């Protein structure tokens, strides 16, 4: 016969720390890892086992007493913090998990990292001919289809000669203007990049490039990447407008083609229905990979009608598990973006 026995709180181990907090004060970023010890005592009546110690982020590393600690015995939790590339105030938690009655104890460390002096190559890591840039990529994230947004690009003339920067080529919906035409040696310069969604006439995620010249010379490397996610603005629609809007419905949003041999195609037709009261417009279809093609039979679907979206996955040079997504952007105010997926396994040819 088996008898279940439970330990009361008084019969279990108990973790008692001298203090659950440590303030490192001010530390230098270049000074290396700093550490502190949290000392504790087992105030319970059975051996205490520290099962795990979990830090709140990778910058914090814990160590601890691994052997069981007898009643009245002492142990430690050593916590180390790496301040490199983390200037400013920090406050981190470490959770101590054990078999004690207080099975989870939270320790905290805090302090302030004094920023080290940085060289030009660190402040402006992107080299572009005679100048260095903080970034050679401008992201406008989400932008409504009628909005115009601008971002400032900062750079540094790292040469000993003046540099004249000009725009060689850019899309009609992106402009780039220098705040000053000539940048003096060992001096900062600024460029204002503007994205006009009204002129883009496209929806969804857009990527493009602005090509520059330095002192009249231009190469492919003298360019800025620009991206934006253009969304239709439904905010001014009234409840009545929404009640008369198109409405997307799907037979399914996922297809698993099972297993195919490398080089074979997997095909599937998704059906998109318009359950609303006005025309459903497919603004754009975008696939996650060039190996996947998707095309609708209709881009404008009247109310009560449907369209087919034929998706073809080409498995050439693909092996193993595959997961491809198809983004469909519509004028449905409640569901402007739908995600379709095609998954399966591609077997290598014998």
CATH topology classification for 9-114: Immunoglobulin-like (2.60.40)
pLDDT of 10 higher than 70: no
Mean pLDDT of 297-317: 96
Query: Residue 5 has what pLDDT?
Result: 40
pLDDT of 1 higher than 50: no
Residue 132: which H helix or E strand, with range? strand 131-133
Query: Residue 111 has what pLDDT?
Result: 96
How are strands ordered across the β-sheet holding 104-114? 21-28, 104-114, 88-98, 50-55
* Nearest CA among 43, 39, 82, 75 for reference residue 61: 82
Burial pattern 72-111, b for ≥16 Cβ within 10 A else e, equals eeebebebbbebeeeeeebebebebebbbbbeebebebeb
pLDDT of 202 higher than 80: yes
C-alpha to C-alpha distance for 270 and 282, rounded to whole angstroms? 14
What are the C-alpha distances in Å from 261 to residues 254, 294, 324, 342, 344?
21, 21, 17, 16, 11
C-alpha to C-alpha distance for 12 and 19, rounded to whole angstroms? 21
Instruction: Count other Cβ atoms within 10 Å, centred on residue 222.
Output: 18
Q: Mean pLDDT over all residues of the chain?
A: 92
Q: What does the block give as tokens for 332?
A: 């449905």
* Nearest CA among 86, 94, 77, 78 for reference residue 27: 86
Question: Percent of the chain beyond pLDDT 90?
Answer: 87
pLDDT of 6 higher than 60: no
For 109-150, write each residue's pLDDT tens digit: 999 999 988 889 989 999 999 999 999 999 999 999 999 999
For 227-257, write each residue's pLDDT tens digit: 999 999 999 999 999 999 999 999 999 999 9
Those residues whose C-beta lies under 8 Å from the C-beta of residue 159, and which sit 6 or more positions away, are 130, 131, 185
Query: Residue 188 has what pLDDT?
Result: 94
CATH topology classification for 240-347: Immunoglobulin-like (2.60.40)
Residue 199: which H helix or E strand, with range? helix 197-200
Mean pLDDT of 282-296: 95
User: Are 120-231 and 240-347 the same fold in CATH?
Assistant: yes
Query: Residue 179 has what pLDDT?
Result: 86
pLDDT of 4 higher than 50: no
Domain ranges of the chain: 9-114, 120-231, 240-347
Kindly report the CA angle at 226 between 221 and 227, in degrees rounded to 5?
A: 140
C-alpha to C-alpha distance for 272 and 339, rounded to whole angstroms? 12
pLDDT of 37 higher than 90: yes
Mean pLDDT of 64-87: 93
CATH, domain range 120-231: 2.60.40.10
Instruction: Count other Cβ atoms within 10 Å, centred on residue 292.
Output: 17
pLDDT of 7 higher than 70: no
């Amino acid at each position: 016969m088996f008898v279940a026995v439970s330990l009361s709180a008084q019969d279990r181990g108990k973790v008692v720390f001298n203090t659950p907090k440590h303030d490192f004060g001010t530390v230098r970023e270049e000074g290396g890892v700093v550490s502190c010890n949290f000392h504790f005592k087992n105030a319970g009546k059975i051996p205490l086992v520290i099962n795990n110690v979990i830090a709140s982020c990778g910058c914090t590393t814990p160590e601890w007493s691994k052997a069981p600690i007898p009643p009245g015995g002492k142990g430690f939790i050593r916590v180390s913090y790496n301040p490199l590339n983390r200037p400013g105030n920090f406050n981190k938690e470490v959770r101590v998990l054990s078999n004690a009655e207080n099975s989870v104890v939270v320790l905290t460390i805090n302090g302030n990292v004094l920023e080290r002096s940085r060289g030009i190559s660190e402040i402006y890591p992107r080299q572009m001919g005679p100048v260095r840039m903080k970034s050679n990529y401008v992201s406008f994230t989400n932008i409504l289809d009628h909005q115009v947004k601008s971002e400032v690009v900062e750079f540094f003339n790292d040469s000993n000669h003046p540099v004249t920067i000009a725009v060689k080529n850019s899309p009609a919906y992106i402009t780039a203007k220098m705040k000053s035409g000539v940048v003096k040696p060992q001096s900062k310069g600024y460029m204002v990049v503007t994205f006009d969604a009204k002129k883009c006439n496209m929806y969804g995620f857009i990527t493009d490039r602005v090509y520059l010249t330095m002192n009249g010379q231009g190469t492919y490397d003298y360019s800025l990447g620009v991206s934006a996610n253009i969304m239709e603005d439904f905010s001014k629609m009234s409840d009545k407008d929404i009640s008369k809007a198109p409405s997307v419905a799907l037979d399914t949003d996922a297809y698993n083609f099972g297993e195919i041999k490398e080089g074979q195609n997997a095909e599937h037709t998704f059906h998109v229905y318009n359950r609303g009261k006005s025309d459903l417009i497919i603004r754009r279809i975008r696939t996650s990979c060039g190996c996947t093609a998707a095309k609708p039979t209709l881009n404008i679907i009247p109310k009560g009608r449907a369209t087919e979206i034929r998706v073809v996955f080409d498995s050439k040079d693909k092996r193993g598990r595959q997961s491809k997504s198809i983004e469909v952007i519509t004028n449905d105010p409640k569901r402007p973006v739908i995600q379709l997926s095609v998954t399966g396994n591609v077997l290598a040819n014998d």
